Structure 1
Amino acid sequence: MHIILGATGHIGSVLIRLLAERGEQVTGVTRNRDNVAQIEAAGATAAVVDVQDTDALRALFKKGTRLYLLNPPGNFTGDASADEKQSLSSILSALEDSSIEKIVAESTYGAQPGDQLGDLDVLYGMEQSLAMTQRYVTILRGSYYMSNFDMDLRTARSVGKIFTLFPVDFKIPMVAPADIAHFAADLLLEPKESTGLHYVTGPGDYTPHDVADAFGKALGNPVKAVTVERNKWKEFLMGAGFSETSAVSMMNMTDVTLEQNFEVAKTPKRGTTTLEDYIDNLVKNQEHEMA
């Protein structure tokens, strides 16, 4: 049986459906009982478990053989990195003496050790810890999620602007979470001995200007990308609800991306969802919900 963490997220919600459609036994994990119906509608069994509840998670892991490991995002209004490290510690502890044979773990482009590097440091630590487990492990390093722009729809619609920490002409590898789910499904179904490190991105790289244009096309009104000046990053992030600690981590991660201070995949796996298609679907889905 496949156990999927983050079963109602952008990746997990697609992944459980893909596996169920292929006739696989799937259990989707959520900490919110209100999500049970959504998981069951996708053809999976729902398990209501908080990943920081190590004992409950351990009991669940004894029922499965393959695991999709997505460490949940921390609360950015507090210390997001500390939250994520606590969740990861619980997941790794729960794996001990479990029946899980193969793990497909979601990591990120740029994963590396470093002080106050947020996800980059946390997920690098995850990779290193999994390398020492007695299980078959595959790592998926995804590029910048297109779903990060979901929160920009509000200002794109209301004031015709999106705000970014990047220069408007800075190209960034981007991927739709649903495309990651398709690759993850294939990797979970491979022989357990098939392991490795895979980079996953979309059909092309895009700039914030491209994002604004995609919003403008989908909304039928011009949208402009506006770069937040470096000396105003912290103020901007804290104004958006980030704690000072989480804001500093986000700033440091942005600097890593701007400096291209990480290994770049020469032959990444490429999804098929374009930025325009993703933004267009985002706008249509919101309009459907508002109708």
Structure 2
Amino acid sequence: MTVVVTTPTGHVGSRVVRLLLQAGARPRVLVREPARLDEETRARVDVRRGDLTDAAFVRAAVSGARTVFWVDPTPHTAPDPIDASLTTAAPLVEAARAGAVERVVLLSSIGAEKRHGVGHIDALAGIEERLDATGADVLHLRCAYFFTNLLLDLEGLARNVLTTAFEPDRPMPWVDPRDVGDIVAARLLGDTWRGRVVQAVHGPEDLTFHQVARILSEALGRTIRLDPVGVDAARDALRTTGLSPSAVEGIVGMTTGSRDLMPEQPRDLLTTTPTRLGGWAHAVLRPLLEGARPFRP
């Protein structure tokens, strides 16, 4: 059974690769820079070096695989992120339609169920629809807001400020990417699912950004002040960085499009994962902040 893993050095992919190896599998990993894999991992996997935006590479690398774990590598800052995501996934879709791939596990997102109006997440909705039409067995994992998104503003957190354009009082599900990786690995190795399957991954609890700031304050040993910013201000700030209008709207749309979102699947035994934000922040975020710059309580 050949399992292909894309983005094997990412927050989710690295966890998936480790679990597959520990289960006795030898995954085929698609990676642009093999040196980013640690030496032990590199010796135990089937490395295919290439770029996921190279259609010929993707077609050859996934051909003959039983299952592919697909993570869209497109950065939100791409000039036209939705088009880039759909174009990058096209060779996988073609391989699945041709029968060269039997099963696909897609790392999707909560919000994809809306299909339109959720910024760059609209691309994941489009990939879902294209994969659904191939006839392959497809599992869409619609994940919550990643804990690791907090790492995108280490400078702000080092100044004890948490900035967000999300509504600060609206609860939303948060999840540890390692927990997502656990589910991915189980699904990749499992042989019971067929057809089109959707599984949400909601994390342990829904949190408002006010609650997140309080949790971080306790876990980090410093008072984190929440700084909500309006959508217009966020849009203006992104424009000043030189991003294209499509990139700006792709980023802002993920916030505005989520305001009225009710996830398609409820929180239950299957969608709830165990790791809490406070424990993650103490184990992962706190050492990064304390090592990056002087600590100010």
Measure, in 1, the Cα distance between the counterparts of 2:219 and 2:241: 25
Contact 1:28 1:39 in 2 (8 A): no
Match in the other structure for 2:284: 282
AA of the residue aligned to 2:182 = H
Distance 1:91-1:148 versus aligned 2 partners, 3 A rule: same
Name the % identity.
23
Residue by residue over 1:209-238, the C-alpha shift from the partner in whole angstroms, topping out at 9 and shown as x without a partner, is 222223323332211111102331211333
Measure, in 2, the Cα distance between the counterparts of 1:108 and 1:264: 12
- Structure 1: state its 5+ residue gaps: none
Match in the other structure for 1:269: 271
Is residue 21 of structure 1 aligned with residue 22 of structure 2? Answer: yes
Distance 1:264-1:232 versus aligned 2 partners, 3 A rule: farther
Following TM superposition, by how much is the alpha carbon of 1:240 offset from its aligned partner in structure 2, in angstroms?
5.7
Match in the other structure for 1:122: 123
Match in the other structure for 2:208: 207
Is residue 104 of structure 1 aligned with residue 109 of structure 2? Answer: no
Contact 1:162 1:225 in 2 (8 A): yes
Secondary structure, counterpart of 2:266 in structure 1: coil
AA of the residue aligned to 1:274 = R
Match in the other structure for 2:68: 67
Residue by residue over 1:15-46, the C-alpha shift from the partner in whole angstroms, topping out at 9 and shown as x without a partner, is 01001100012122112243243682584232
Contact 1:175 1:200 in 2 (8 A): yes
Is residue 194 of structure 1 aligned with residue 181 of structure 2? Answer: no
For residues 229-244 of structure 1, the aligned pairs below 5 Å read 229-239=230-240, 242-244=243-245
Distance 1:8-1:54 versus aligned 2 partners, 3 A rule: same
Secondary structure, counterpart of 2:53 in structure 1: coil
AA of the residue aligned to 1:40 = T
Following TM superposition, by how much is the alpha carbon of 1:98 offset from its aligned partner in structure 2, in angstroms?
5.6
Measure, in 2, the Cα distance between the counterparts of 1:163 and 1:77: 22
Greater Cα shift, 148-157 or 13-22: 148-157
AA of the residue aligned to 1:272 = P
Measure, in 2, the Cα distance between the counterparts of 1:272 and 1:245: 36
Measure, in 1, the Cα distance between the counterparts of 2:200 and 2:149: 18
Match in the other structure for 2:152: 151
Measure, in 1, the Cα distance between the counterparts of 2:168 and 2:76: 28
TM normalised by structure 2 equals: 0.87
Match in the other structure for 1:164: 164
AA of the residue aligned to 2:46 = T
AA of the residue aligned to 2:28 = T
Match in the other structure for 1:226: 227
Distance 1:209-1:153 versus aligned 2 partners, 3 A rule: farther
Contact 2:151 2:285 in 1 (8 A): no
Distance 1:51-1:224 versus aligned 2 partners, 3 A rule: same
Greater Cα shift, 222-231 or 248-257: 248-257
Residue by residue over 1:35-80, the C-alpha shift from the partner in whole angstroms, topping out at 9 and shown as x without a partner, is 2436825842322121121222222222421111111133505222
Number of residue pairs matched?
289
Secondary structure, counterpart of 1:138 in structure 2: strand
Residue by residue over 1:125-180, the C-alpha shift from the partner in whole angstroms, topping out at 9 and shown as x without a partner, is 111111111321111111111111111222111x2111100232221111111111
Greater Cα shift, 219-228 or 82-91: 82-91
Measure, in 2, the Cα distance between the counterparts of 1:39 and 1:234: 43
Greater Cα shift, 39-48 or 16-25: 39-48
- Structure 2: state its 5+ residue gaps: none
Match in the other structure for 2:179: 179
Match in the other structure for 1:31: 32
Is residue 80 of structure 1 aligned with residue 81 of structure 2? Answer: yes
Two-structure CA RMSD over aligned residues (Å): 2.5
Secondary structure, counterpart of 1:8 in structure 2: coil
Contact 1:153 1:215 in 2 (8 A): no
